[in-house]
Amino acid sequence: MLKLIKQRLVWGLVLTATVSGVLSCNVAAHATSSKADEVKAAYVMDAKSGQVVYAQNADQKLPIASLSKLMTLYLVERAIEHGQIKWTDAVPIRKNVRKMATSATLSVMPMPAKETFTVRELFAATLVGSSNSGAIALGEYVAGSNDKFIKLMNQQASKWHLDASFISASGLDNTCLLYTS
């Protein structure tokens, strides 16, 4: 699975970085947008010829949330392979991440204070449900802090020679963590 995640992540980042460059987002603007479900940009290329079939706002800088989550999941699997963490570990979740999880705009996974979550549960929530709070909790667990995890993400991108700049484990900018305090 690790190899498949890496392959998809590399191709997705190469395409995104080529189209969008270094990316960031503004959570407050995104959260209040009434057009949040509309497609903001699209880029379709024929895999064999490399010819662009369709492009909409191809040069617009946009957040790489799903690709950030794939990088997070890749680094979680790597930490498991290296024995740093286990699938069954209970992940400590900071109060502001739990609070962020109550926002329908920022998270799909409620995290009540009474509940605990394993690495496997948060991994599944991040992979299947694109859980922002799950990704952040996993990143903090792997590296000890959000900032340290972002550094790991960017170091990995650099090792793969990708022109990408990660700003969080979830792909949202870190104001989402401030928003909840």
Tens-binned pLDDT, residue by residue, of the chain (181 aa): 555 555 555 445 444 443 333 333 333 333 444 444 567 777 788 888 989 999 888 887 766 778 899 999 999 999 999 999 999 999 999 888 888 888 776 777 888 888 899 999 999 999 988 888 999 999 999 999 989 999 999 999 999 998 888 988 998 865 555 444 3
Report how far residue 148's alpha carbon sits from residue 62's, in angstroms, rounded to the nearest whole number: 23
Q: Residue 11 is encoded by which pair of tokens?
A: 């191709």
Residue with token string 């394993």: 118
Number of domains, the chain = 1
Q: Decide if 181 is catalytic.
A: no
Residue 181 DSSP SS3: coil
Give the C-alpha distances (Å, rounded to integers) separating 8 from 135, 139, 166: 18, 19, 16
Q: Decide if 148 is catalytic.
A: no
Q: Which of 69, 107, 131, 133 is catalytic?
A: 69
CATH number at residue 129: 3.40.710.10
Q: Which of 24, 61, 103, 130 is catalytic?
A: 130
Count of CB atoms within 10 A of residue 22's CB? Answer: 12
Report how far residue 91's alpha carbon sits from residue 10's, in angstroms, rounded to the nearest whole number: 27
Q: Decide if 69 is catalytic.
A: yes
Prediction pTM value: 0.68
Range of the domain at 55: 2-179
